[in-house]
Protein backbone atom coordinates (compact mmCIF):
# COMPACT_ATOMS: atom_id res chain seq x y z
CA UNK A 1 0.00 0.00 0.00
CA UNK A 2 0.82 3.66 -0.07
CA UNK A 3 3.29 5.21 2.35
CA UNK A 4 0.52 7.59 3.48
CA UNK A 5 -1.83 4.76 4.39
CA UNK A 6 0.96 2.84 6.10
CA UNK A 7 2.07 5.75 8.25
CA UNK A 8 -1.46 6.81 9.11
CA UNK A 9 -2.50 3.34 10.14
CA UNK A 10 0.67 2.89 12.17
CA UNK A 11 -0.07 6.11 14.03
CA UNK A 12 -3.79 5.46 14.40
CA UNK A 13 -3.55 1.83 15.56
CA UNK A 14 -2.76 2.36 19.29
CA UNK A 15 -5.35 5.12 19.59
CA UNK A 16 -8.05 2.92 18.08
CA UNK A 17 -7.09 0.13 20.45
CA UNK A 18 -7.16 2.55 23.39
CA UNK A 19 -10.56 3.87 22.37
CA UNK A 20 -11.90 0.33 22.16
CA UNK A 21 -10.61 -0.45 25.64
CA UNK A 22 -12.17 2.76 26.91
CA UNK A 23 -15.52 1.81 25.41
CA UNK A 24 -15.32 -1.63 27.03
CA UNK A 25 -14.36 -0.37 30.47
CA UNK A 26 -16.63 2.67 30.50
CA UNK A 27 -19.60 1.04 28.80
CA UNK A 28 -21.79 0.87 31.87
CA UNK A 29 -21.45 4.59 32.57
CA UNK A 30 -21.56 6.21 29.14
CA UNK A 31 -22.72 5.19 25.67
CA UNK A 32 -20.74 2.24 24.46
CA UNK A 33 -20.56 -1.35 25.55
CA UNK A 34 -19.21 -4.69 24.53
CA UNK A 35 -20.23 -4.85 20.89
CA UNK A 36 -18.99 -1.39 19.78
CA UNK A 37 -15.78 -1.86 21.78
CA UNK A 38 -15.09 -5.19 20.09
CA UNK A 39 -15.87 -3.72 16.70
CA UNK A 40 -13.42 -0.85 17.26
CA UNK A 41 -10.65 -3.13 18.50
CA UNK A 42 -11.15 -5.60 15.66
CA UNK A 43 -11.22 -2.81 13.10
CA UNK A 44 -7.83 -1.57 14.35
CA UNK A 45 -6.31 -4.96 13.52
CA UNK A 46 -8.15 -5.11 10.19
CA UNK A 47 -6.69 -1.70 9.32
CA UNK A 48 -3.20 -3.12 9.94
CA UNK A 49 -4.04 -6.15 7.78
CA UNK A 50 -5.20 -3.92 4.94
CA UNK A 51 -2.37 -1.41 5.10
CA UNK A 52 0.71 -3.63 5.28
CA UNK A 53 2.09 -6.20 2.90
CA UNK A 54 1.65 -9.92 3.22
CA UNK A 55 5.18 -10.64 4.35
CA UNK A 56 5.15 -8.16 7.21
CA UNK A 57 1.85 -9.50 8.48
CA UNK A 58 2.94 -13.12 8.13
CA UNK A 59 6.07 -12.27 10.04
CA UNK A 60 4.22 -10.51 12.81
CA UNK A 61 1.06 -12.60 12.92
CA UNK A 62 1.95 -16.21 12.13
CA UNK A 63 -0.59 -18.90 11.70
CA UNK A 64 -0.61 -20.34 15.18
CA UNK A 65 -1.68 -17.00 16.57
CA UNK A 66 -5.05 -17.36 14.88
CA UNK A 67 -5.52 -20.60 16.78
CA UNK A 68 -4.65 -18.58 19.88
CA UNK A 69 -7.44 -16.16 19.10
CA UNK A 70 -9.76 -19.12 18.81
CA UNK A 71 -8.85 -20.37 22.27
CA UNK A 72 -9.17 -16.82 23.65
CA UNK A 73 -12.69 -16.66 22.23
CA UNK A 74 -13.67 -19.97 23.77
CA UNK A 75 -12.21 -19.03 27.15
CA UNK A 76 -14.10 -15.74 27.12
CA UNK A 77 -17.33 -17.55 26.27
CA UNK A 78 -16.80 -20.03 29.10
CA UNK A 79 -16.15 -17.22 31.55
CA UNK A 80 -19.26 -15.43 30.30
CA UNK A 81 -21.36 -18.49 31.05
CA UNK A 82 -19.79 -18.82 34.51
CA UNK A 83 -20.42 -15.14 35.17
CA UNK A 84 -24.04 -15.39 34.16
CA UNK A 85 -24.65 -18.28 36.49
CA UNK A 86 -22.48 -17.67 39.55
CA UNK A 87 -21.07 -14.18 39.82
CA UNK A 88 -24.18 -12.07 39.55
CA UNK A 89 -25.30 -11.98 43.16
CA UNK A 90 -21.85 -11.78 44.71
CA UNK A 91 -20.37 -8.87 42.78
CA UNK A 92 -23.22 -6.43 43.14
CA UNK A 93 -22.85 -5.86 46.89
CA UNK A 94 -21.21 -2.74 48.33
CA UNK A 95 -20.90 -0.68 45.21
CA UNK A 96 -21.47 3.01 44.61
CA UNK A 97 -23.26 4.19 41.52
CA UNK A 98 -21.18 6.08 38.90
CA UNK A 99 -17.89 4.57 40.05
CA UNK A 100 -15.67 3.03 37.43
CA UNK A 101 -15.55 -0.28 39.28
CA UNK A 102 -19.27 -0.50 39.74
CA UNK A 103 -21.88 -2.03 37.53
CA UNK A 104 -21.66 -5.51 38.95
CA UNK A 105 -21.88 -8.09 36.24
CA UNK A 106 -22.22 -5.54 33.46
CA UNK A 107 -18.58 -4.43 33.56
CA UNK A 108 -17.17 -7.97 33.42
CA UNK A 109 -19.54 -9.05 30.67
CA UNK A 110 -18.69 -5.90 28.69
CA UNK A 111 -14.98 -6.74 28.78
CA UNK A 112 -15.46 -10.42 27.93
CA UNK A 113 -17.93 -9.64 25.15
CA UNK A 114 -15.59 -7.08 23.61
CA UNK A 115 -12.82 -9.72 23.59
CA UNK A 116 -15.13 -12.20 21.86
CA UNK A 117 -16.28 -9.72 19.19
CA UNK A 118 -12.74 -8.45 18.48
CA UNK A 119 -11.35 -11.99 18.14
CA UNK A 120 -14.20 -13.02 15.85
CA UNK A 121 -13.59 -10.02 13.56
CA UNK A 122 -9.84 -10.68 13.47
CA UNK A 123 -10.29 -14.40 12.70
CA UNK A 124 -12.81 -13.82 9.90
CA UNK A 125 -10.84 -10.99 8.26
CA UNK A 126 -7.51 -12.81 8.49
CA UNK A 127 -8.90 -16.06 7.08
CA UNK A 128 -10.44 -14.33 4.07
CA UNK A 129 -7.38 -12.16 3.45
CA UNK A 130 -5.05 -15.15 3.59
CA UNK A 131 -7.09 -16.82 0.88
CA UNK A 132 -6.86 -13.64 -1.18
CA UNK A 133 -3.09 -13.44 -0.77
CA UNK A 134 -2.65 -17.04 -1.85
CA UNK A 135 -4.79 -16.39 -4.91
CA UNK A 136 -2.61 -13.42 -5.86
CA UNK A 137 0.59 -15.38 -5.53
Judged by the rule CB under 8 A, the positions of this chain that interact with other proteins are 27-34, 66, 70, 73-74, 77, 80-81, 84, 88, 92, 95, 97-98, 102-107, 109-110, 113, 116-117, 119-120, 123-124, 127-128, 130-131, 134
Q: Indicate the DSSP class of residue 61.
A: S
Q: Of the two residues 51 and 115, which places its CB atom closer to other proteins in the complex? A: 115
DSSP letters spanning 109-124: HHHHHHHHHHHHHHHH
Q: Of the two residues 6 and 130, which places its CB atom closer to other proteins in the complex? A: 130
50 CB-near residues (< 8 Å, 6+ apart): 1, 5, 9
- Give the nearest distance from C-beta 46 to other proteins in angstroms: 13
Task: Tell me how far the alpha carbon of residue 26 is from its chain's centroid.
Answer: 15
Taking phi over 0 as left and psi of -120 to 50 as alpha, with beta for the rest, 62 belongs to beta
Distances (CA, A) of 109 to 25, 43, 57, 81, 82: 10, 20, 31, 10, 10
- Give the nearest distance from C-beta 4 to other proteins in angstroms: 30
Q: Of the two residues 12 and 54, which places its CB atom closer to other proteins in the complex? A: 54
- Give the nearest distance from C-beta 114 to other proteins in angstroms: 10
- Give the nearest distance from C-beta 62 to other proteins in angstroms: 14
- Helix or strand run (H / E) with residue 18: helix 3-25
Q: Of the two residues 12 and 120, which places its CB atom closer to other proteins in the complex? A: 120
Amino acid sequence: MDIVIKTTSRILFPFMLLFGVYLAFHGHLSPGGGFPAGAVMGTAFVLLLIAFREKDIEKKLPEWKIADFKSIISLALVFMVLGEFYLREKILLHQRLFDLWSGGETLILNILGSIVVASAIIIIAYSFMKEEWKGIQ
